[in-house]
Amino acid sequence: MSRIVLKVGGAVAGEAATLALALAEQHEVCVVHGAGQQISAELQRAGLPVRFVHGRRVTSWEALAVVRDSFTAVNADLCAAIGPRAVSLFGDAIGLEAVLVPELGHVGSPLPSSPPAVEDAFAAGLVPVVAPLAVGPLNVNADEAAAALAVGLGADKLLFLTDVPGLLLGGVVASKIAVAEAERLLAAGVFGGGIVPKLEAAVAAARGGVDATIGATAVVA
């Protein structure tokens, strides 16, 4: 049975659940979720700064508790929407490893990983739903976590379910982009904001042998 990693944003739990269940009829599916909007809102409520560097969140030690609480809420909502087949997993608890990125605070760059808890869920016909924390604990960008898991698990596909239709090039959604071209455009600073870690993650997955798609845009090696 083929494997799919589905990366979803914290704001699309209902849509993500429907897609995850449909895919799980024919594939082993691992869902990795973010919680960007929720984290920013809770940080502001707590009087903590909200800062990003190249689309990645700067996370202080104080902010880590807010990050975990937000992931917990989104994870619970997503698992409830998927139903009894969902298994709630947190990356730091299942052994997701990452390399510290000091300039971002308590943030890690995840390493390809095949956590036994995910493999056990697949074996039981369940859908693991993973919150992107790494051993430390370290906050991990959800796009990067999805790519690291996709490569580590030997997934056939990595799908980014987003609130944008795909990668915009010249105002038009591209049907595909080659890894080399994506890297050139990233290096040139053509893109900004949250699309940067998505595209970088898709490039890493494609280079690791996983078919990666951002919305309607395929990223091809």
What is the value of pTM for the model shown? 0.94
Nearest to 119 by CA among 75, 158, 157, 154: 154
26: DSSP letter:
T
Q: What is the pLDDT tens value at each position of the chain, 221 positions in all?
A: 899 999 998 767 678 899 999 999 999 999 999 999 999 999 999 999 999 988 889 999 999 999 999 999 999 999 999 999 999 999 999 999 999 999 999 999 999 999 999 999 999 999 999 999 999 999 999 999 999 999 999 999 999 998 788 898 888 999 999 999 999 999 998 888 888 889 999 999 999 999 999 999 999 98
Domains of the chain: 3-158 (3.40.1160.10)
Residue burial 194-209, b: 16+ Cβ < 10 Å; e: rest = bbbbbbbbbbbbbebe
Tokens encoding 209: 């042998």
